[in-house]
Homo-oligomer: A and B are copies of this chain.
Amino acid sequence: MKIALIGAGNVGWHLAKTLDATQHQVTAVYSRTAATREALAQQLNHALPIDNLNLTLYNIDVVLLAVSDAALAEVTQELAVRAGTIVCHTSGSQPLTVLQPIQGARTGVFYPLQTFTKSKPVNLTHTPFLLEAADEETLGELQQLAAALSDTVLPISSSARKQLHLAAVFACNFTNHLLGISRELLEMANLPPDLLQPLIQETVDKALQRHPFLVQTGPAIRRDQNVLQAHLGMLQQYPQHQELYRQLTQSIQAQLSAESKSKTP
């Protein structure tokens, strides 16, 4: 298939590069910023950097919109495609219906459940691609496209995708922030940042094998008041971290109470 990539941010960048390495072809890349679209086009085999959203000039099978949720409404207004072209967005939180304004398009969602940063290569082989389409034929074509990238391709409704995206914010964005705080705490104590690596890896290995609530460890779940108070004291200079510590401790303890209650007959 011939693909146009609209948006050259973290998601668009990696989708374009990964698609370009398959039997499919990225033939056009659009970004508002000339330097960005040219930088991405240079990374690809046959892609033209384009500076407007009238795609009726080109022979394109699938248009992938990899723009921020905020920009999506504007892009769907401006975009023009030949009748029958598939147009997908790649957002976890936007419904399929947001694409309705695009005249003549067959609409779909092409959502890779992954975290993307331009500077870090990512292997999408096991990344789930969650698909949705307005009709069965379009869904079939999207499945074919996604299967070229990943071994995990699933149809999913707009509402389930929203739930999944919320879960991903906890598992990825919030987890990353906590890892950042822990690294900052190490740096402030002049300790090497890789000291926590085996612990972090084991934490995640365990959480992927068992339900995390069943393998929770640490002072919060032990209700070890001495340690909890000492830690809050050490965070006195960092009120934001201190408040997070308090909230997360409460949340762990509330979870524990809820579980023991549910075990009581």
A residues whose Cβ falls under 8 Å from a Cβ of B: 10, 68-70, 93, 113-117, 119-120, 122, 126-128, 152, 154, 160, 162-186, 188-191, 194-204, 206-213, 215-222, 224, 226-227, 230-231, 234-235, 240-241, 243-245, 247-248, 250-252, 254-255
Contacts and interface: CB of A to CB of B under 8 A. Distances in A.
Given A117-B217, A163-B188, A247-B243, A255 B180 contact: yes
A226 B113 CA distance: 20
A139 to B, nearest CB: 18
Given A234-B162, A247-B247, A68 B240 contact: no
Given A170-B185, A173-B218, A204-B179, A230 B162 contact: yes
Contact of A224 (B70, B174, B230): B70
A71 to B, nearest CB: 11
Contacts of A164: 186, 189, 191, 195
Question: Taking chain A's interface residues, is the majority helix, strand, or loop, or is none over half, making it mixed?
Answer: helix
Given A126-B198, A252-B173, A185 B207 contact: no
Contacts of A254: 240
Contacts of A206: 115, 117, 120, 176
Given A70-B226, A212-B183, A224-B69, A251 B171 contact: no
Contacts of A201: 204, 208
Given A122-B202, A208-B197, A115 B180 contact: no
Contact of A170 (B113, B116, B178, B216): B178
B248 A174 contact: yes
B115 A217 contact: yes
Q: Which of A128, A169, A230 has the most CB of B within 10 A?
A: A169
Contacts of A122: 202
A116 B217 contact: yes
B207 A169 contact: no
A180 to B, nearest CB: 3
